[in-house]
Structure 1
Amino acid sequence: MGFNINIDLAGAKDKSLSKLLLSSARQYLREYGEVRDLSLDSAARSISLEILPVGECEPIRATVFGYGLATDGSGRGHLTFEDLAFSRQWLTMLATRLLPDKRLPLPSGTPMGLLQTLL
């Protein structure tokens, strides 16, 4: 008689990383609004974020598709992506225009080696 334990290790890892990234996102974006949710899907290589902007009544959802991590020549870390979408069309259009190289700078001091290992 054996035990049949079906453990979703990737799902558990994604949930743990989502909580860690949520905490960091809350600190990084606190002046812009309240980060309510963050979920990472490593299989789909996507990150979704819900934020209630300062002075707004409705939250905004942002999703990064095809994420990756890169370091530039100065050692600054960046979140790279294939596509970015918001629950507000005008924000998606603005992001497309302002981020043509499809990368977002990460806060200085971001542990890139650790993130690259985990993501």
Structure 2
Amino acid sequence: MAFNLNIDLASAKDKSLSKLLHSAAKQYLKEYGDVQALALDSAARTLTMEVLPLGERESIVVELAGYGLATDETGRGWLTFAHLSTSRQWLTRIAEKALPEHRLKLPSATPMALLQTML
């Protein structure tokens, strides 16, 4: 049986990071809804999240493609992305208008140096 250590380690890393980010996203977005799932694919540079908004019956899928991390001149951390899409066309359009710089401000306590080495 062939065993590709690089692929298995990358997959394990992505699964571990997904669990960590899922926990953080649940806390960060709890006033808007329940983050039901979060998956990170570091090779494809995609982050996919499933959220059940408060008061809704169906979840929404959000995908960030071409993600990265950046720090501005004040030291504030940002999650950057090349493209954002959702499972709702109207929500994707709102996101495009609300986030023209293709970045999301991260909480001030975000350990940027650690995340940058892991992502």
TM over 0.5: yes
After superposition, the C-alpha distances for 1:12-46 in whole angstroms (9 at most, x for unaligned) are 00000000000000000011001000000000000
Q: Is 1:89 aligned with 2:96?
A: no
The gaps in structure 1 that reach 5 residues or longer are: none
CA RMSD of aligned residues (A): 1.1
How far off is 1:4 after superposition? 5.6
How far off is 1:53 after superposition? 0.3
Q: Which consecutive segments of 4 or more residues in structure 1 shift more than 4 A?
A: none
TM-score norm. by structure 2 comes to 0.95
Q: Identity, % of aligned pairs?
A: 62
1:4/1:85 Cα in 2 relative to 1: closer, same or farther (>3 Å)? closer
**AA paired with 1:77?**
G
The equivalent of 2:40 in structure 1 is: 40
The gaps in structure 2 that reach 5 residues or longer are: none
Return the alpha-carbon distance in structure 2 between the equivalents of residues 40 and 93 of structure 1.
23
Bigger Rg, structure 1 or 2: 1
Report how many aligned residue pairs link the two structures.
117
